[in-house]
A and B are shown apart, each in its own frame.
Chain A
Amino acid sequence: MSRIIFVTVGSTGFDQIISLVTSTPFLQLLISQGFAKLVVQYGKSRNSFIKMQNNFINEIEIIGYDYKPSLREDMKIADLIISHAGSGSILEILRLYKPLIVVANENLMDNHQIELAIELQSKGYLVYSSISNLLETLKSFNYKNLIPFPQPNDTLFANILNEEMNVDI
């Protein structure tokens, strides 16, 4: 079993999460859960990433980069994703049916991102965690409890628009 975990912070940086996922206790937990590869999109948090000391070079491969035009390929190969709370990332990951832990950056001024993560957690599509709880969340993470995200309804918006424009279909 060689599983892959992908961590993404989006267009800004998120030092705390990068420091945490590259810390020794976190890497140990990943190895014990059968992860053989950690891919990190660290955005502006490069400094937090390169501080890492990987004492487990033979046990877990760690790859990091700042940005890519599309994260889709890294999302697709992952068995578990830890993401910031941006709605674009959340939607993209859920639509690939990937198990997802969302960690909100509580330092951001506006907390509407947390509201979104909590709502989607209450519906069972993802798990929300604070930074301080992330290790515990991962320990008790139950993949089987997650509910697949529904396919979007393509006709709703078209119907409203057709009605507004007086189109008879």
Chain B
Amino acid sequence: MRLYKVLPLHKDKITRSIHLPKPPFKTCIVLGSGGHTMEMLQLAEGLDFQKIYRPRIYVIANNDHLSLEKVHEFENRKTGDKSNKYYKVHKIPRSRLVGQSWLTTPFSIFKALLASINLIFERDSPDLIICNGPGSCIPVCVISYLPRIMGLKWIKLIYVESFARVKTLSLTGKLLYRFVDRFLVQWIYLIEKYPRAEYIDIYRLNDDKSGISDHSASTE
């Protein structure tokens, strides 16, 4: 079955390499709010925006004004260009507001899926999607599978579990675990429970202890 073939754990290199694009990559960055947004912008800090990861589409919830401000601030600072045209913001309604009735939830999920369809089936669909756990990344990831199942395009999905999750995955993390191409976690406990997860020590918490951190990858 096609769906099985397109799951990342099915290491069918041929299927994947057919869809391998060349840089620059249209990069979709899904922001949550507060802590999620801060962590995501920290992740994006080291990316090459000039040559490789452009244009960038930041996905935010439509009432998240704070993240919107942070994105503009971040892009202006990182690119040093206030008239920077290589990014835009795509707003998506929240799938479920805190305290929203379960009765109206299907309608808001439907709206979130529609907004995700607009994002994924734009003239140029994204080459990769980076997310770190807000619920809003689920509709985006679900829709991004459609071109993959149809054999049109393999949109890479990269998931980074929040620094806040020490010993258990978030609900979003558990849901996306099997479906994303790379699943990164920031605490070593999680790779014991989840063999597909890769450990990434962004905050250098293990730099001084040998045997745990990957010294070849850290740049001191």
Contact = CB atoms under 8 A, between A and B. Distances in A.
Nearest to B53: A161
A159 B38 contact: no
Contacts of B59: none
A113 B158 contact: no
Interface residues of A, number: 33
B45 A116 contact: no
A155 to B, nearest CB: 5
A112 B168 contact: yes
Interface of B: 20, 23, 25, 34-39, 42-43, 45-48, 52-53, 66, 69, 127-128, 130, 156, 158, 160, 162-168, 181-182, 184, 187, 198, 200-205, 207, 217-219
A113 B66 contact: no
A165 interface: yes
A153 B204 contact: yes
B158 A164 contact: yes
Contact of A154 (B20, B46, B182, B187): B46
Contacts of B34: 10-11, 86, 88
Given A87-B164, A115-B166, A160 B38 contact: no
7 contacts: A89-B35, A112-B165, A112-B167, A152-B204, A153-B219, A154-B45, A164-B158
A104 to B, nearest CB: 12
A16 interface: no
B165 A153 contact: no
